[in-house]
Structure 1
């Protein structure tokens, strides 16, 4: 017998991610990896416009479905059999979506993507309707607004099937903002009881999974290049620099806890929405390293400068976005505040280093970590004294 889906308390102690949520994340990273592979292929073939646009659209679908579930689960996770089954259906939907990524990139055919997204969204609508059945008053109206908003947006995504393939980006331009507006409209009367520490942990765990996928993609790229008899001396600087970038990205993101900043919906929404760029740029670094490896081994159809930009641009974007929405809330004083913005510009400048751009960017990122640790240590010492 299903239990009533009552809202959980925002101040609940020992609220942590569940095994089901971790399983959910792993299924979503399959779609992230699929989009990253297609981005790397398009960039290596010299089609950056097509590759970046397709990546941004597909990553939006994956990120938005993941985010909607994560915030819902933070407020209403009952972990009973019905909740688990509906969540597993969502996971099946993202795997269908991932299967449609190559066709969407190659032929702008979003049929499989649309169907996978439909499965995910209908499951999410069912979760909100179940929550509405157990709620009263303003809380019930919030749940019903979520269910209605998601349904309307899913109808809007029919444009992916009806529009000429050249007009598909315009469907995202119209329906994407509608999706983004649903939470604000749904919670204008009463917000859901999401848990700040739990939400911060969920985003942190997904960041770790995306960074892990970045390392895996780069490792496979190096392995493939070695199998094709590329010189190890040529590949080592790219592999080493890429590894330094990923390690620095981990350190920068987890330098300080952020849950204390998430006190209201306004703060939390801006922080949560900003992670579209955090997750997207982190995954794109892996695609960029793949391209840099192909260029170093002579298999890519682009210049050394363009291959370097495939790594430095998303790496700089990651650092700048993490500072803007995440790290600056824990920084004290102009010196600490300037570390990440300045280092993101220096990472961009590394693009000019040609074959040595990736290791140079990795060293700059590590310098940002070292500077942050040093300034924090000095501040703590001054406070003690």
Structure 2
């Protein structure tokens, strides 16, 4: 008989050992990430359509939605690192957060159209109030962190009430201003809770793995979005009559669609180089050492990743919009979409480069990231044909990877032995 995976209905929610051996992401956490990527995919799809239609205000809408997705994900990730008791109640509350993310995803189109969405606010409320229930369990069972847990519970509840009240407001200026204020309130709750009642425990290796796995899953969404865009082109029927008067029009005569054109091939190659390079540049070093350099660096690492995750998702939207440009299905021109692709790549590169430089206490660590950012933005500014622009951006990113492989290792070998781990190169 195979072993049954039986879990108790309720167990004490005490803190996990931050030095626990072999601590890895649980199947529930992996499922949690997968569900959240559905919401990211919905936001990225709206950004893709907005970019293609030259409705650049959708960039701001994407930022608003992405903050809600990332904030709920991050709060749960850190909570689970400290208090994952894996009982039935814990799993059900986790499912509630996941259901809230799906409800949020369903309301994303309305938010992009109107600036308000009852579905998005409701989904966000479900996610946040489920977190309140989890913190109340901690307040009951973990007496040393009772003040911290109660501060979290009260702070989240108050801010969530303000989000709901915001539904009564109207006007773009008022909505954006109140959004900014409530974002500051959200960011303040963890800081206030950890200051008042003491920091909650977390497992550095577990957190680093959680962030890395989420990066991989978002990269998978980028690949899926790009492949679906190309599939859509290949599935287009080629209609009309050939110039010879005999038979249907050819793909070449149609000006695109109905076949794998040279432009699409170049774009696909460039897109793959971009995605592969994004992965390599993230995992070129271990991030656990960033988390272990004091609480300030831990906060910076945690919050800065909103830019990392959002940039990766935006790259997927940019690649899909690039396919539209190649197939003459976009209003936006090649230069605009090249910038829509280059800007998130530059943000991604600069954020990671800055984190690595801070961890190494050496500004020179960020020089390759600065160089890559300048190059990709320069390529976008040239106004090249879309396939060539994507291919050159991909080659530039592959060059950044090659720089790390060939030169960063050489610099590390030539440096005096100061106890720095080999994984910190680059």
Contact residue 24 and residue 91 of structure 1 kept, 8 A: yes
Spell out, residue by residue over 1:312-341, the C-alpha distance to the aligned partner (whole angstroms, 9 max, x if none). 11111111111112x335669776541111
1:208 alignment partner, SS class: helix
1:175-203: CA deviation from partner (whole Å, max 9, x where unpaired): 01100111110000410101111000000
Match of 2:351 in 1: 321
Normalised TM-score (structure 1):
0.95
- The size of the alignment, in residue pairs, is 382
**1:354 and 2:384 matched:** yes
Larger displacement relative to structure 2 (222-231 or 347-356): 222-231
- Contact 1:336/1:372 (<8 A) preserved: no
Q: Please tell me whether the aligned partners of residues 291 and 297 of structure 2 are also in contact (alpha carbons under 8 angstroms).
A: yes
- TM-score by length of structure 2 reads 0.86
1:181-200 paired onto structure 2 within 5 Å: 181-189=188-196, 190-200=198-208
Report the equivalent of 1:161: 167
How big is the shift at 1:353?
A: 4.6
Task: Work out which of the residue numbers 302, 313, 333 in structure 2 matches 1:272.
Answer: 302
Q: Indicate the SS of the match to 2:332.
A: coil
Matches of 1:378 and 1:265, distance apart in 2: 32
Displacement of 1:28: 0.3
Contact map agreement 1:308 1:357 (CA 8 A) in 2: yes
Residue 226 of structure 1, CA deviation: 2.4
Distance 2:324 2:91 in 1: 42
Verify the 8 A CA contact 1:111 1:160 in the aligned structure 2. no
| 2:105 corresponds to 1:105 | no
Q: 1:174 to 1:383 in 2, by over 3 A?
A: closer
Q: Which residue of 1 aligns with 2:319?
A: 289
The one-character-per-residue Cα deviations of 1:81-104 (angstroms, maximum 9, x if unpaired) are 111111011101100100001111
More helix by share: 1
Per-residue deviation at 1:279?
Answer: 0.2
Contact 1:90 1:123 in 2 (8 A): yes
State yes or no: 1:260 paired with 2:279: no
Question: Match of 1:367?
Answer: 399
Q: Aligned equivalents of 1:108 and 1:339: distance in 2?
A: 38
The structure with the largest alpha-carbon Rg is 2
Alpha-carbon contact 2:41-2:221 (below 8 Å) kept: yes
Instruction: State the Cα deviation string for residues 129-167 of structure 1 (Å, max 9, x = none).
Output: 000101224x11000000011001101102431111423
In structure 2, the partner of 1:62 is 69
Residues 206-285 of structure 1 mapped to structure 2, 5 A cutoff: 206-228=214-236, 229-230=256-257, 232-263=261-292, 264-285=294-315
The answer to whether the Cα contact below 8 Å between 2:18 and 2:201 also exists between their aligned partners in 1 is yes
In structure 2, the CA distance between the partners of 1:218 and 1:160, relative to structure 1 (3 Å rule), is farther
Distance 1:333 1:126 in 2: 43
Would you say the 8 A contact 1:353–1:360 is kept in 2? no
Distance 2:416 2:117 in 1: 59
Tell me which moved more, 164-173 or 174-183.
164-173
User: CA RMSD for the aligned pairs?
Assistant: 1.7
Deviates more, 1:109-118 or 1:156-165: 156-165
* Structure 1: gaps (5+ residues): none
Contact 2:40 2:66 in 1 (8 A): yes
Contact map agreement 2:271 2:390 (CA 8 A) in 1: yes
Residues in 1 aligned to 2:365 and 2:34: alpha-carbon distance in whole angstroms: 34
Structure 1: how far apart are the matches of 2:390 and 2:51? Answer: 16
The answer to whether structure 1 residue 312 and structure 2 residue 342 are counterparts is: yes
2:156 to 150, 154, 168: 150
Deviation for aligned residue 1:108: 2.4
Cα 1:57–1:46, aligned 2, differ >3 Å: closer, same or farther?
A: same
Q: Does 1:95 align with 2:99?
A: no
Gaps in structure 2 of 5+ consecutive residues: 1-8, 237-255, 418-426
In structure 1, distance between residues paired with 2:359 and 2:182: 35
1:330 & 1:192 partners in 2: Cα distance? 22
